[in-house]
Amino acid sequence: MAVSVSHKLKSLLVPSTRVVVFTGAGVSAESGVPTFRGKDGLWKEFNVQDLATPEAFARNPARVWEWYQWRMEIVSQAQPNDAHRVIAWMESFFSEFTLITQNVDGLHDRAGNRRICKLHGDLWDVRCLLCGKTERVTGLPPQPLPPVCGCGGMLRPGVVWFGEMLPELEFSKAEKAAMQCQLFFSVGTSMEVFPAARLPNLAREKGAYIVEINPEPTSLAGKADEVLIGKAGEILPLIQDSTTAFRTKRGNS
Ligand code: NAD
Ligand code: ZN
Alpha-carbon distance of 85 to 172, in angstroms, equals: 26
Catalytic residue numbers read 120
Residue nearest to atom 11 of ligand 1 (CA): 216
Alpha-carbon distance of 239 to 216, in angstroms, equals: 19
pLDDT-based confidence at 2, cuts 50/70/90? confident
CB of 200 closer than 6 angstroms to any ligand 1 atom: no
pLDDT in tens, 54-68: 999 999 999 999 999
State the distance from the centre of ligand 2 to the C-alpha of 151, rounded, in angstroms. Answer: 4
pTM of structure:
0.94
State the distance from the centre of ligand 2 to the C-alpha of 153, rounded, in angstroms. Answer: 5
In the chain, alpha helices (H): 7-13, 48-51, 54-59, 61-77, 82-93, 107-111, 168-180, 199-205, 232-249
Burial of 219-253, coded b for 16+ CB within 10 Å and e otherwise, reads: ebbeebbbbbeebbbebbebbbebbeebeeeeeee
pLDDT in tens, 157-180: 999 999 999 999 999 999 999 999
Q: What DSSP state is assigned to residue 154? A: B
pLDDT-based confidence at 250, cuts 50/70/90? low
Q: Which atom of ligand 1 is nearest to the CA of 41?
A: 2
CB of 193 closer than 6 angstroms to any ligand 1 atom: yes
pLDDT at 70 over 50: yes
pLDDT at 248 over 90: no
Tell me what the mean pLDDT of segment 193-204 comes to: 95
pLDDT-based confidence at 141, cuts 50/70/90? confident
pLDDT score of 132:
96
Tell which phi-psi region holds residue 200, choosing left (phi > 0), alpha (psi between -120 and 50) or beta.
alpha
pLDDT score of 175:
98
Give 38 or 185, the one with higher predicted confidence.
Answer: 185
pLDDT score of 40:
65
Q: Which atom of ligand 1 is nearest to the CA of 191?
A: 25
CB of 235 closer than 6 angstroms to any ligand 1 atom: no
pLDDT-based confidence at 253, cuts 50/70/90? very low
Tell me what the mean pLDDT of segment 61-78 comes to: 94
Residue nearest to atom 21 of ligand 1 (CA): 188
pLDDT score of 215:
97
pLDDT at 44 over 80: no
Q: Which atom of ligand 1 is nearest to the CA of 119?
A: 34
- The residue to mutate among 74, 159, 214, 228, having the most atoms of ligand 1 within 8 angstroms of its beta carbon, is 214
pLDDT score of 1:
63
State the distance from the centre of ligand 1 to the C-alpha of 221, rounded, in angstroms. Answer: 16
The sheet with strand 209-214 has its strands ordered as 116-118, 96-101, 18-23, 183-187, 209-214, 226-229
pLDDT score of 138:
86
pLDDT at 252 over 50: no
Contact 37, 190 (CB under 8 A): yes
Q: Which of 132, 137, 22, 116 is nearest to 72 (CA)?
A: 137
Q: Which ligand does the CA of 153 lie closest to?
A: 2
pLDDT score of 36:
81
Residue 134: how many other CB atoms lie within 10 Å: 12
